[in-house]
Amino acid sequence: MHIPSQPALPKVLAAEKLSPDGLALLRNGVDVHEKKGLSHEELLSVIPEYEALLVRSETKVTASLLQAAKKLKVVARAGVGVDNIDVEAATKLGIVVVNSPSGNIGAAAEHTIALMMSMARAIPEACRSLKETKWERSKFVGVEVKGKTLGIIGLGKVGIIVARSAKGLGMNVVAVDPYATTAVASAASVTLIPSLSEMLPQVDFLTIHTPLIASTKGMISTAELSQMKAGARILNVARGGTIDEVALLAALESGHIAGAAIDVFTSEPPQENSSAAKLISHPKVVATPHLGASTVEAQENVSIDVCEQVLQILQGSLPRSAVNAPLILPEEYIKLQPFVQLIEKLGSLYTQHYTSTSGSLNRNTFDLVYQGEIAGLNNTKPLFAALIKGLTTPISSSAGGNVNIVNAELIAKERGIVVNERHSRDPSSYPYSSLVSLVARPPSRASSRAPGDSAKDSSERHARPQQQIISGTCSGNQPLITRLDRFETSFVPEGTLLICHNFDSPGKIGVVGSILGQRGVNINFMGVAPVSKKLPEEEDGENSSSANDAGLQNEALMILGIDRGVDSDVIDALVGEEGVLSGTVVTL
Ligand SMILES: NC(=O)c1ccc[n+]([C@@H]2O[C@H](COP(=O)([O-])OP(=O)(O)OC[C@H]3O[C@@H](n4cnc5c(N)ncnc54)[C@H](O)[C@@H]3O)[C@@H](O)[C@H]2O)c1
Ligand SMILES: O=C(O)[C@H](O)COP(=O)(O)O
């Protein structure tokens, strides 16, 4: 007995330690491989087989790793910071990067408070001394935090929790964050200070909660440390590199800064003799090995958060926290989904019907016109991406297959495709509630002429460019093409279609049917499309041709669903018949 083989499950590589709660979700339908501690070379060799990569902060997801990945759809960061991922390279390759923006913020804030208290009361040193069987009570006299001023740089998700906790400990809290609002700050009883140089002299404790970006790299260095009160203390549970480690070492040595509590370093794990290693071994420093997010609860949160998103992406939906994709709400996406399919078909039909197999589009400037209800949509990014995917897939094995909401704009730019999206609320979509039209603009006369090619004859100069337009709608969730070129039609864009342009005279159907029959091609369905009474772009004038034009009245399209692709000799045979003007085969 022949047992049909099961389709292979998508493979996910968990390259770091992730809580099993999320991985269990994935195991339902995905082949999960847990391989921790792989070297970069080992990662390079295994990555081509994976559709998703799960990491924390240790794995360096470089451009070369992403390029080596042949099937990768998503890199999921089980945490907040994505500075270990080359997001730009991922975007270019159409790989979605997701993270868990708030799964570990409580843990990071609690760790900050724990470090602050440990530093204030010298708890790690006292503990070590005691374990060495010493009883050194007078050596470990600490300071209280109550009544002291805490300065926060970065009043974001972690910063605000730290602020509230510090208020609970009786501290005065001030903060610098150029993007925070006074409403958010005052709700947490925090005073926003306009600049760092105004805040630094006021604080007894300083804590950093910004990402590591150009404006925050080395933002606390010698000059800033010297503006702080003598005896102030400093914390970093955000990112190594926001504090200049060499400058901090010097300030600790001089005694100007009384102590530091550091969870994150410029090199992790710190290289021998590096500034990070020197800080860690300094007696005035309380240090932890990037443990801010290391609680059972936070690890469960981030693991579940990103694993759910990986599943969503592998199932073709949009994730909730994509770092490099425009945000779109799930309910909005459900509404858009049929139109995403329709517009991809419009693009693919356009390229196959109008463009030769030259590998490029004959026209590259398009109007994408939304009419009726669909015109009310604000976020049409997925529709734009679907169009670029549809237009490019038939002419490029590499580009089209990878086009998605993440890289569509980039790919359009690279291929010189310009799309003007137009929303029209007029009732001209009637009888459809929503109508989408793809109109290719003819090249401008100047640009269509080759350099030095000035001697066009007058008939060519006055020839009107051919109308290139395809319209469609969704009936329920089913895409439907309602217009192709000058012809009014109604067919489902699916399977292999033969599109014949002919004079609308008796006998044409029989002729086409018998030529296909002779070659063993079965016809699944057939429809005749007459010339339309009104064309959506007529008002533009320039590229319009109307049904009133003499000679067009008796032309029609014949659209046949066939059970296989046909060679060019079949098209030649059809066009050789009287009254058949042209034929194209498209696969949708
Ligand atoms: N140690 C850990 O394990 C751990 C855990 C979680 C988060 N983190 C890190 O903590 C940091 C904060 O995380 P978050 O979730 O609160 O991020 P967030 O994006 O919510 O907040 C960052 C804040 O920094 C502010 N900011 C940006 N540039 C600034 C500047 N030049 N000066 C002042 N403020 C500036 C932003 O306006 C924002 O409010 C990140 O670097 C994150 O990676 C570390
Ligand atoms: O950015 C983060 O989420 C934290 O730095 C935590 O990193 P981790 O997941 O490697 O602990």
Residue ranges of the domains in the chain?
11-103+298-314, 105-287, 331-447+462-485, 494-530+549-588
* Contact (Cβ atoms closer than 8 angstroms) between residue 489 and residue 503: no
At the top level of CATH, the class of 494-530+549-588 is alpha beta
- Give the DSSP H or E segment for 116: helix 105-120
Q: Which atom of ligand 1 is nearest to the CA of 294?
A: 3
State if pTM tops 0.90.
no
Q: Which atom of ligand 2 is nearest to the CA of 57?
A: 10
530 in contact with ligand 1, CB cutoff 6 A: no
Q: How far is the CA of 165 from the centre of ligand 1 (A)?
A: 17
Domain 105-287 identical in fold to domain 494-530+549-588: no
Q: In a 3-state reduction of DSSP, which class is residue 199?
A: helix
Q: Which atom of ligand 2 is nearest to the CA of 16?
A: 10
Q: Which pLDDT value is given to residue 360?
A: 63
How far out from the chain centre does Cα 416 lie?
21
Q: How far is the CA of 105 from the centre of ligand 2 (A)?
A: 10
Query: Tokens standing for 396?
Result: 């490029």
Query: Tokens standing for 585?
Result: 């085969």
Q: How far is the CA of 278 from the centre of ligand 1 (A)?
A: 25
Q: Which pLDDT value is given to residue 460?
A: 42
Query: Tokens standing for 126?
Result: 């006292």
104 in contact with ligand 2, CB cutoff 6 A: yes
155 in contact with ligand 1, CB cutoff 6 A: yes
DSSP 201: G
Q: Which atom of ligand 2 is nearest to the CA of 99?
A: 3
> Which of 153, 210, 242, 306 most suits a substitution to test ligand 1, by most atoms within 8 Å of the C-beta?
210
Measured between its terminal Cα atoms, the distance across the chain in Å is 35
Q: How far is the CA of 80 from the centre of ligand 2 (A)?
A: 6
| Nearest protein CA to atom 6 of ligand 2, as residue | 293
240 in contact with ligand 2, CB cutoff 6 A: no
Q: How far is the CA of 109 from the centre of ligand 1 (A)?
A: 11
> Which of 85, 290, 300, 303 most suits a substitution to test ligand 2, by most atoms within 8 Å of the C-beta?
290
Query: Tokens standing for 28?
Result: 């339902």
79 in contact with ligand 2, CB cutoff 6 A: yes
Question: What's the Cα-to-Cα distance from 373 to each of 17, 63, 338, 421, 539, rounded to whole Å?
Answer: 47, 42, 14, 15, 21
* Contact (Cβ atoms closer than 8 angstroms) between residue 57 and residue 268: yes
* Cα–Cα nearest to 96, from 408, 322, 330: 322
Enzyme catalytic residues: 239, 268, 290
Query: Measured between alpha carbons, how far is 211 from 322 in angstroms, rounded to an integer?
Result: 17
At the top level of CATH, the class of 105-287 is alpha beta
Q: Which atom of ligand 1 is nearest to the CA of 211?
A: 41
Nearest ligand, CA 16 = 2
Q: In a 3-state reduction of DSSP, which class is residue 529?
A: strand
149-153 and 205-208 beta bridge pairing: parallel
CA quadruple 50, 55, 58, 61: dihedral sign: positive
> pLDDT 10s per residue in the chain (588 long)?
566 667 789 999 999 999 999 999 999 889 999 999 999 999 999 999 999 999 999 999 999 999 999 999 999 999 999 999 999 899 888 899 999 999 999 999 999 999 999 999 999 999 999 999 999 999 999 999 999 999 999 999 999 999 999 999 999 999 999 888 888 899 999 999 999 999 999 999 999 999 998 889 999 999 999 999 999 999 999 999 999 999 999 999 999 999 999 999 999 999 999 999 999 999 999 999 999 999 999 999 999 999 999 998 998 777 878 888 766 665 677 778 899 999 999 999 999 998 755 556 778 899 999 999 899 888 888 899 999 989 987 766 444 456 777 788 888 987 889 999 999 877 666 788 999 999 998 876 544 433 333 434 444 444 555 679 999 999 988 999 999 988 999 999 999 999 999 887 777 788 888 899 888 899 999 888 888 766 544 444 444 444 445 455 688 899 999 998 888 888 888 888 878 888 899 999
74-77 and 96-99 beta bridge pairing: parallel
Q: Which CATH architecture does the domain made up of 11-103+298-314 adopt?
A: 3-Layer(aba) Sandwich (3.40)
372 in contact with ligand 2, CB cutoff 6 A: no
Question: What's the Cα-to-Cα distance from 587 to each of 130, 145, 259, 400, rounded to whole Å?
Answer: 77, 71, 69, 15
Q: Helices in 28-76 by DSSP H: which ranges?
A: 40-46, 63-68
CA quadruple 533, 536, 539, 544: dihedral sign: negative
| Nearest protein CA to atom 7 of ligand 2, as residue | 57
Tell me which CATH code domain 331-447+462-485 carries: 3.30.1330.90
Q: For residue 5, report the phi and psi dihedrals to the nearest 5 degrees.
A: -75, 145
- Give the DSSP H or E segment for 127: helix 123-131
Q: How far is the CA of 231 from the centre of ligand 1 (A)?
A: 26
